[in-house]
Amino acid sequence: MPKNKNSKKRGGGKTPDGAAVLPLAHPKGGDDDNESVTDKWSTQSVLSNDSSLPGSDSAANVEDDSEGATEQENFEDHFSEFLDGLLQKSVKSRVTALQGIQNALQKKYVAEFLTNRKETLADGVLRCLRKGKGDEQALAATCLSLVAVQLGTEAQSMFTVAQPVLTSVMTDNATHYKARGACATSLATCCLLCCDDLEKIKSVTKALEDIFGLGYGKGENSPTVPPELSWLIAQALSAWCLLLTVAPQYEVQTHINNHLGPLQDLLKKL
């Protein structure tokens, strides 16, 4: 008998026992494509999150660390150059060095770096404060304030040496008013951050009172305060108020009783 031709057709036929055989599905790449896309997304997800896996050491992190180390080295090199500049004979060179130190300490917290250099820095800055004039003295006083901000109580020994110099410059009528005002601010800042001697703080407070007391008038017809003196008085008064924030309550009350009336008259003239 001739063989059944239908049994040779794809997907058709029966098993020897007569059971029907269903045709196998052969999709045109639909499922394979879906599986391929899924695998690709899974792989991309793992790769994109690889940097967040524990222990990953990506090239970007290594590069960032290298750049950070280079930046710190550059900072230290420049700061050392500024320290050397404080010893120059040229006024312009010293002023440039002080400006560099001021900018550096304002932009970056480097307490650890300063700890081993605070004596050298203090000596150079105090030298500028003693022998300089005008802007140089003002910059030097500002730098002392910034060192106190950076080091806190670790700058206490520096302030012990600096206080008499700052006070002397502040109370010298022959000194430029900008330098005197900067010294007033520096005294208050250093007292606040790196001084625990109450008597020393009282001494600074009294010196500040003597400065803004220069504007106290003797009557309604007293002359107005000149602009330069007005600026100096404002700096001394601001520094005085800063110290009152940490003074004992009984001290604060005493100061208020002594100065409230005259201060009201003074503020009307400023």
Tell me the pLDDT tens digit for each residue of 80-115: 999 999 999 999 999 999 999 999 999 999 999 999
What is the residue range of 222's domain?
Answer: 74-269
pLDDT tens-digit readout, 47-89: 444 444 445 455 555 555 566 678 888 889 999 999 999 999 9
Give domain status of residue 10, yes or no. Answer: no
137, burial (CB in 10 Å: exposed 0-12, middle 13-18, buried 19+): buried
Q: Into how many domains does the chain fold? A: 1
Alpha-carbon distance values, 55 to 32, 88, 164 (Å): 35, 50, 55
Highest mean pLDDT among 15-24, 40-49, 76-85, 209-218 belongs to 76-85
Give domain status of residue 107, yes or no. Answer: yes
For residue 269, pLDDT over 80 is answered with no
Give domain status of residue 257, yes or no. Answer: yes
Give domain status of residue 3, yes or no. Answer: no
List the one residue out of 132, 130, 123 whose CA is nearest residue 93: 132
What's 232's domain CATH number?
1.25.10.10
Give domain status of residue 51, yes or no. Answer: no
In this prediction the pTM is: 0.72
For residue 12, pLDDT over 60 is answered with no
Q: Using only the alpha carbons of the chain, give its radius of gyration.
A: 38
Q: Centre a 10 Å sphere on the Cβ of residue 76 and count the other Cβ atoms it contains.
A: 13
Please indicate whether residue 12 or residue 157 has the higher confidence score (pLDDT). Answer: 157
Residue 9 is predicted with a pLDDT of: 43
Give domain status of residue 205, yes or no. Answer: yes
